[in-house]
Structure 1
Amino acid sequence: MLARITGGTCRGKAVIREDGLASVATSIKTRRDAAPDTQRILVGLIGRGIQLSRTPAMHEAEGRARGIAYIYRLLDADGMGDGRVRLEEIVSFASYFGFDGLNVTFPYKQDIIPLLDELSEAAEAIGSVNTVVLRGGRRIGHNTDLHGFRESFTHEMIGARQDSVLLLGAGGAGAAIAYALLESGIGQLHLFDVAQARAAALSARLEGRFGADRVTVASDVVAVAARVDGIVNATPVGMAKLPGIPLHPALLRPDCWVADIVYFPLETQLLAEARRRGCRTLSGESMAVHQAARAFQLFTGIAPDIDRMRTAFAAFDESPAAGPEGSGPATAD
C-alpha cells in the first residue's frame, strides 16, 4: 500500500552549477551515450561524506551480470561547491536528468519525505526513506533498511537471546532497526538517543503498533546496558568520518551480543571492543547487502543474486577515489 503525501514537493527546474552536479551530469551523458544495452538504469546515492560507499559497486556489478547498462552515481552534498547545496536541488537534478531511482543516507532519510509524492507502507510507518523510485513523473519513497537488518539479524544471529535489546539512535536508520527488531520477536526494546524527544517520538509510534509493554525510552543507558541481551548501534558514530564509540567499552559484557550497522569501516571501534571482551558481534555488512538487493529489485523489477552482491561488497577497495566516481557512508543516521 502506498500513502499519498499532501504538501509541498520540489518541482523546480534543476540548476546545474559548478559545484559537483555539473561533473556528475557530464559523466552520466558519457556513460549513457556509450551504453549499447537496451535496458538502462540510472540511479544515485544522496548523502554527505559518502565517498567510501560500497553501494555503487554492488549495484553496478549486479547490473553488468544481468546485461543492464546500470549507472550508479554519488550525489555527495559535501563535494558540491561550498557544501551548502540544498536537498531539494539534488532531488530536482535527479528528476531533471531522468534518474530511475535514488538511495538516501545520512543525514537525509527523514528530510527527503516532504519532497516525495507517495510512501510505501513500511516507509510511512517508520517515518524514514532510504530508497526513492522515480517513475512516471512521481517520487515514491521506500525503506529497505528494515528488510536489510531483519534479514541480517535473522540469518546471522541464530540462537542469540532476544528478551531485551538496547538500541542506540532513534533517527532514520534507528527507526527502521527498531521496527526490524520488534518484528523479529525481541521481547523489549529500550531506545536511547542523545535527543530524548526523538527517542520519545519513535517510542510513541512503536507503542501504537507493537504495544506499550515492548518499548521504553532509556534515560539511564548505564543501567539498561547492564541487563540487556543485546546492543545495537544505529548512530553514525564509528563511521570513518565520525570515529569513536557510542558508549563506554566498560558497559560491554561478554554475555551480551553487539551489532553495529555502520559498514565502513566494517571493524568499528564498538565491534573491536566488543570482540575483545568476548561478545558475539554482527557487523553492518549483511544489512548493507540485503538492503541494496531490495533496492536493486525496486529499481529494475529483477530479483538480484544476493551472493553475487555480497562478493562485490567484499571486493570493494575502501581507498577514497577521486571525483564523482568515488563511493559512500554507512546507513546509520
Structure 2
Amino acid sequence: MKKMFGVIGDPIAHSMSPAMHNDLFALYDIDASYLPFRVLKDDLEDAVKGLKALGASGFNVTIPHKTKIMPLLDKIDPLAEAIGAVNTVKNENGLFTGYNTDGPGFVKGLEGHAADFKERSALIIGAGGAARAIYFSMAKAGVKRIDIFNRTLEKAEELVATCPYQVQSRILDRANAERLLGEYQLIIQTTSIGMVPEVDISPLSLGNLSSQALVSDIIYNPLKTKILKDAALNEAATQNGIDMFVYQGAIAFEKWTGIFPDTQRMKANVLRHLGGFSC
C-alpha cells in the first residue's frame, strides 16, 4: 500500500519539501508520495484528525502551526517539548509523535563547516523560534558558551532561562555584541533580516569580526545575504541556510523510513529549485 507523507502550513505553495522528499522516495524505491497541504489556522485540528484518519505515515509542519499543533499530537519528543515547537510528525503504531528536527538539522549541517564547533564560543543573533531550536540543540550537543544578541533583551533572557541544558550565556545589546564580536569563532544569524526583498540589510556590523570565525545565516534566499558578504570581505568562512533546510529534512526522512538520505543530492535538488549553483 502506498504511504502518504506531506507538509502542512500556510502559505505552502513555495515549499521545496515535496520535490526534495519525492525525489528521495524514488531514489530509495519507496512506494510513497509527499504532498503539500495548505491548512489555515482555524482548520488545524481538523487537518490533524484528517491526516490520522487517512493513515498518513508522517508529515512536516511549517509556519504558522509549529507550536499550535503540539496539544493535538499524542506524544512529543523531549527536545521538541523543551523547544516548544514541532516541525516533524511520525505515525508510530497509530499515534502521532512530534519531533523538532530544525535544531538538530542545523547542528548536523554545522559539523561539515566546523568539526570543532563544540569548542567554539558562539553568538546567536535573534531570539525567536529558530534561535530557540538552535540554542537548545547546540547546548544539548555540548557547546559550552552561547551568547545571544537580540533587540528585545527580555526575549533573550527568557530563552536562556528556559533552556534545560547546561550552557554559559550572556545577553548582549547591539553595541556590546559589535564590540565583543572578535571573541566569537561562530556567529549564527537566525532572524529574517537580509531575506528577499530586503537584501541590503544586516543585523550587525562585522567591523570587529575575527577572520578565523564562521558566520552562519539560516536564510537561503538569497544564498548570500549581506552579513555573509560582509563576513567574506573580512576573510571569515560562511555558511548559508541550505544546510539547515536539507539536514532537518534528512533527519525527518530517517525518522520516517530508517534511511539517512544522500544530503548532497538533496542540496543539489534544492539549488536547482532556487536557481543557484553553489552553497
Whether the 8 Å contact between 1:163 and 1:188 is mirrored in structure 2 is yes
CA shift in 2, pair 1:120/1:246, >3 Å: farther
The equivalent position to 2:26 in structure 1, one of 59, 64, 79, is 64
Q: 1:50 to 1:238 in 2, by over 3 A?
A: farther
Alignment equivalent of 2:125, drawn from 143, 168, 192: 168
CA contact 1:157–1:282 (8 Å) conserved in 2: no
Give the aligned residue type for 1:106: I
* Partner in structure 1 of residue 225 of structure 2: 268
Residues 277-296 of structure 1 correspond to what in structure 2 (within 5 A)?
277-296=234-253
1:211-230 matches, cutoff 5 A: 211=167, 214-218=168-172, 220-228=173-181, 229=184, 230=186
- Which ranges of structure 2 fall in alignment gaps of 5 or more residues? none
2:110·2:117 contact (CA, 8 Å) conserved in 1? Answer: no
2:254 corresponds, among 297, 300, 304, to: 297
Residue 264 (structure 2) pairs with residue 307 (structure 1): yes
Is it true that 1:44 corresponds to 2:1 in the alignment? Answer: no
State the alpha-carbon separation in 1 of the partners of residues 93 and 118 from structure 2: 46
Q: 2:203 maps to what in 1?
A: 247
Compare relative contact order (CA 8 Å, sep 6+) and give the higher one, 1 or 2. 1
Distance 1:107 1:193, change over 3 A: farther
CA distance in 2, matches of 1:68, 1:117: 26
Alpha-carbon contact 1:52-1:264 (below 8 Å) kept: no
Deviation at 1:298, TM superposition (A): 1.4
Pair 1:73 & 2:38 matched = no
> CA separation of 1:45/1:245 partners in 2, compared to 1, >3 Å: closer, same or farther?
farther
Counterpart code for 1:221: R
Task: Choose the corresponding residue for 1:125, options 66, 82, 87.
Answer: 82
**TM norm structure 1:** 0.70
Displacement after TM superposition at 1:261 (Å): 1.3
| Residues 136, 165 of structure 2: 8 Å contact kept | no
Label 1:287 to 1:199 Cα distance change in 2 as closer, same or farther (>3 A): same
| Mean Cα deviation higher: 259-268 or 292-301 | 259-268
Gaps of 5+ in 1: 1-37, 78-82, 320-333
Change (3 A) 1:145 1:193: same
What per-residue deviation string (whole Å, max 9, x for no partner) do you get for residues 166-218 of structure 1? 21233332122112333444332112344544322221122x4205xx02322
Deviation of 1:303 (Å): 3.2
Change (3 A) 1:193 1:250: closer
- Kindly indicate whether the alpha-carbon contact (under 8 Å) linking 1:144 and 1:295 is maintained by their aligned counterparts in 2: yes
- 1:179-218 aligned at under 5 Å gives the runs 179-206=136-163, 208-211=164-167, 214-218=168-172
State the shift of 1:224 in Å: 1.9
Compute the RMSD of aligned alpha carbons: 2.9
Alignment-derived partner of residue 231 in structure 1: 187
More off after superposition, 116-125 vs 101-110: 101-110
Deviation larger for 42-51 or 145-154: 42-51
| Same amino acid, percent of matched pairs | 32
- TM-score, length of structure 2 as denominator length: 0.82
